[in-house]
Structure 1
Amino acid sequence: MAKPEPIAYIWHKDYVNESDRYIPTTNRNVMVHLLIEAYGLLDNMMTVTPKKASIQDLAAFHSMDYLNFLSNPNSNRDEDSINDENDDYGLEYDCPIQDGIIEYCQRVAGGTIEAARMLNNGFCKTAIHWLGGWHHAKRSNAAGFCYVNDCVLGIIELRKKFERVLYIDLDLHHGDGVQDAFCGTNKVLTFSIHKFEPGFFPGTGSDKEIGYGKGKYYTVNVPLLDGARDDTFCDIFDKIAPTVLKKFKPGAILCQLGADGLNEDPMHSFNLTHKSQIHCIRKIQNWGIPLLILGGGGYNPANTARTWTSVTASLIGKEISEDIPEHEYFLEYGPHYELPVSQSLRKDLNTSKYIAEVVSTVENNLEQIN
């Protein structure tokens, strides 16, 4: 029997504990890690402690003006100037300036860059960094709880080894920051399945957005409506993903697996369970291409931990009990204390006609890739 390919699991104890300060979910990241640990899954992976990314590492995508402001937000400025610059850089509302924010950004980016380097150097075929996946940040702007775009930085690192990198985004929200970064190149194809409707953040992700110049048709957007269920999500992935793979032929893949489309997430949008993420990631893993997996959104901490633990177990080929093991956060999984995430009876607004129209548009665009 062939020996399983090694999987790298990126984490740092202090980083896990501190990271929950900067996202609007109490103890989510700690819960994810401790549930993975409680199931004994760490024994089946290489655990890797990443270094903090340097400012120069962050500058591979982000502007130095923005990084300098993150590093010294109150330096040599009067209050009015600080407020104006906060607004210019998107550092208000969902991305407020907080103590230690630049160190957090360096930890986020350092974890994803280290995961990419593990793949570049052939130390593993799959690398997981659940604390990464912050796909909304732009070159000089924070947005949507994302201060730096570690997805973009991970792709830049992968491009040092692999000529073509496929970015797959399965978060509820459109991966606009990543799309904007690569919409003009044919070396990176961005493929995002997400909710799209007027007024829903970030307001981008129409299937009419297809890229520019050399990157025309290398932007693939699948806009879905409220109530999307596992069967809808998996069906549309199964229809489009193989064509993306065939036409683009990537050397490596970076996949953002946001969990905010799950049923019972505060976003109240999609109606997914852990099954859709497992289905998609198994398909991707079976392609046999170096794969970097990141987290992202997910604002129901217990369901996010359930789902990413289930995905981790699936990736290493280990069956685990549906009964949540006793550990520090055991009581957060009540009242049933079980691993599966359930669907609700909410109506799926994605009709078969709507799905057929979206798939047809996307496939016609993909046919234009030489």
Structure 2
Amino acid sequence: METKKRVAYFYNNEIGNYNYGKLHLMNPKRISMTHSLIVGYGVYKDLDVYTTREATKEEIMQFHDQDYVEYLSNYVSSTKIDFLRKNGCTAPIIDEEAKNDVEKKRQYGIDVQADCPGFDGVYTFSQLSTGGSIDAAHLIINNAADVAINWGGGLHHAKKGEAYGFCYVNDIVICILELLKVFPRVLYIDIDVHHGDGVEEAFFTTNRVMTVSFHEFGEDFFPGTGGLNSSGEGLGKNYAVNVPLRPGMDDESYKQLFKNVMNKVMEVFRPDVVVFQTGADSLANDKIGHFNLSIRGHGECLTYMLRFNVPVVVLGGGGYTIQNVSRCWAYETGLLVKKNLNGPIPVDDPFFHLYEKQNMLHVPIQQVENKNSKEDLNKIQEEVFKQLKEVDAAPSIPFHNVPKAFQYDDDEYFEENEQDQHHDFSGNTYNFNKLNDYINGYQTMEVEQNEEVGVYRKQPLLIEKNSSRFNHI
């Protein structure tokens, strides 16, 4: 009998309030809409719910260039700055001259094209996105969850020193780097309609991470990378797997190809943990993507990976018809706790007006031409299998000095070691209770480092749930 999986879920009620711009296709509101459906359909009570905190600058710089992070940190939310000042907290100093420097904007990809605007709070938004993904990794490391979800993450295009494709901080790369501190092999799966270029690029030369991306390819479709011949370099040769597809992919074709490829990947690579990016722009009727997947078809890819009984970090990603994004991610959250959601959108949902034209969770999809013939898909699968044959089964990874897991603190340890709770690491004083109550995770997670005992950190804040429909974060 299959044991019930422990499913952790990260959310912060601030993250859906950020705005890329009135006409921008990326809308963080979809994360709040997803959360509201998770609560409305009763899935919430079956999850271990954690508040998402902001990642620190040091955590972000595990992957991103310091100069880029320093520049991006000028885009702290004005709401946050106002709150900190009103409550006697030290607000970050904004370098307005550097922020408005045209050359720096061009260098870092901010405000140069419509893709990555320098909107108010983009750094704070990125911190929240990344903080959830880091702590999801830590729950897996500490065996505190079998599945950890952060729908606010999955921003797979961001480069080491550049914003790209609506993404500013690559929370996925940072999540994987955390996992690699403990696990020898990490598998990254990407079913966003766009190629997971930023993640693939970061791990292109290592055999400890295998990246597998199923994506639309050709006809100048963004980002234009991810061909079959992009397979890694050096030690990473054959550890980057790309499945380039044409428009019109339907459930039957996609699911069969996905299962065949992933079954072979799991057989050969045998990962210790999976990071799964579930971009919802591969659904039918997306404003950018041209696939024709149903919500059920999309979700079946996720549940298929649970059968291998390997811990999974589940992240969001793209998705620009926001009503369908929220439907999809709420449905998939249900699947992870063995609930098959169906029926109408709850009428007391605060975003119900956005679903009024189609107020069911599952909506019909239009029949469009699938430009992927069976012959073409068979050829792609054959090429992928040839590549995987070149991978040593369960590759031998030199890992003699295994670092200790990020262990959560115990009271006795922190009584002896932690700093005064009314000060942050810079010695700035603040009203701890007010800050914690208002912003659910704006405060930095305290970290103590000791060579003998490893790294200890505060456990993510577990939210206490009650029966009230609207009494939730």
TM-score normalised according to structure 1 size:
0.95
In structure 1, stretches of 5+ residues that fail to align are none
Deviations 1:294-328 (A, max 9, x none): 01101011111111111111110023332221111
Q: Which of 47, 50, 61 is 1:45 aligned to? A: 47
* TM-fit CA distance, 1:38: 0.6
Q: Which of 35, 38, 41 is 2:37 aligned to? A: 35
For 2:128, the aligned partner's letter is R
For 2:167, the aligned partner's letter is C
CA distance in 2, matches of 1:24, 1:253: 26
Per the alignment, residue 216 of structure 2 pairs with: 195
Classify the secondary structure of the residue corresponding to 1:9. Answer: strand
Deviations 1:226-267 (A, max 9, x none): 111111110110111011001111000000000001111111
Per the alignment, residue 285 of structure 2 pairs with: 264
Per the alignment, residue 153 of structure 2 pairs with: 132
* TM-fit CA distance, 1:50: 2.7
For 1:325, the aligned partner's letter is P
Per the alignment, residue 83 of structure 2 pairs with: none
Per the alignment, residue 334 of structure 1 pairs with: 356
Per the alignment, residue 190 of structure 2 pairs with: 169
Per the alignment, residue 95 of structure 2 pairs with: 75
Deviations 1:327-367 (A, max 9, x none): 11122223341111332111000001110111111110000
8 Å CA contact 1:227, 1:350 repeated in 2 = yes
State yes or no: 1:120 paired with 2:141: yes
Per the alignment, residue 367 of structure 2 pairs with: 345
8 Å CA contact 1:20, 1:30 repeated in 2 = no
8 Å CA contact 2:16, 2:30 repeated in 1 = no
Classify the secondary structure of the residue corresponding to 1:183. Answer: coil
Q: Which runs of 4 or more aligned residues in structure 1 lie more than 6 Å from their structure 2 counterparts after TM superposition?
A: 19-23
CA distance in 1, matches of 2:54, 2:122: 13
Q: For the structure 1 residues 76 and 346, does the alpha-carbon distance in structure 2 shift closer, same or farther, using more than 3 Å as the test?
A: closer
* TM-fit CA distance, 1:142: 0.5
* TM-fit CA distance, 1:27: 2.5
Per the alignment, residue 105 of structure 1 pairs with: 126
* TM-fit CA distance, 1:103: 1.5
> Considering only CA atoms, is the larger Rg found in Structure 1 or Structure 2?
2
* TM-fit CA distance, 1:161: 1.8
Q: How does 1:209-358 map to 2 (within 5 A)?
A: 209-326=230-347, 327-358=349-380
* TM-fit CA distance, 1:277: 1.9
8 Å CA contact 2:228, 2:242 repeated in 1 = yes
For 2:230, the aligned partner's letter is E
CA distance in 2, matches of 1:30, 1:23: 16
Classify the secondary structure of the residue corresponding to 2:14. Answer: helix
Per the alignment, residue 14 of structure 1 pairs with: 14
CA distance in 2, matches of 1:27, 1:188: 32
Q: For the structure 1 residues 365 and 355, does the alpha-carbon distance in structure 2 shift closer, same or farther, using more than 3 Å as the test?
A: same
Classify the secondary structure of the residue corresponding to 1:13. Answer: coil
Classify the secondary structure of the residue corresponding to 2:248. Answer: coil
CA distance in 1, matches of 2:289, 2:183: 38
For 2:58, the aligned partner's letter is Q
For 2:179, the aligned partner's letter is L
8 Å CA contact 2:20, 2:119 repeated in 1 = no
CA distance in 1, matches of 2:280, 2:219: 22
Q: Which of 384, 388, 408 is 1:366 aligned to? A: 388
Per the alignment, residue 108 of structure 2 pairs with: 89
8 Å CA contact 2:8, 2:147 repeated in 1 = yes
* TM-fit CA distance, 1:26: 6.9
CA distance in 2, matches of 1:226, 1:292: 28
For 1:338, the aligned partner's letter is M
* TM-fit CA distance, 1:220: 0.1
Q: For the structure 1 residues 358 and 202, does the alpha-carbon distance in structure 2 shift closer, same or farther, using more than 3 Å as the test?
A: same
8 Å CA contact 1:195, 1:224 repeated in 2 = yes
Deviations 1:201-224 (A, max 9, x none): 111000110000000000000000
Give the share of equivalent positions with the same residue, in percent.
36
8 Å CA contact 1:19, 1:29 repeated in 2 = no
Q: For the structure 1 residues 236 and 179, does the alpha-carbon distance in structure 2 shift closer, same or farther, using more than 3 Å as the test?
A: same
Per the alignment, residue 462 of structure 2 pairs with: none
Q: Which of 159, 162, 166 is 1:145 aligned to? A: 166
Q: For the structure 1 residues 19 and 33, does the alpha-carbon distance in structure 2 shift closer, same or farther, using more than 3 Å as the test?
A: farther
CA distance in 2, matches of 1:305, 1:196: 25
Q: How many pairs align?
A: 369
CA distance in 1, matches of 2:233, 2:2: 44
8 Å CA contact 1:20, 1:29 repeated in 2 = no
In structure 2, stretches of 5+ residues that fail to align are 76-93, 393-473
Per the alignment, residue 65 of structure 1 pairs with: 67
CA distance in 1, matches of 2:69, 2:309: 37
8 Å CA contact 2:192, 2:318 repeated in 1 = yes
Q: For the structure 1 residues 2 and 269, does the alpha-carbon distance in structure 2 shift closer, same or farther, using more than 3 Å as the test?
A: closer
Deviations 1:74-110 (A, max 9, x none): 736479x811211111112211112222211111110
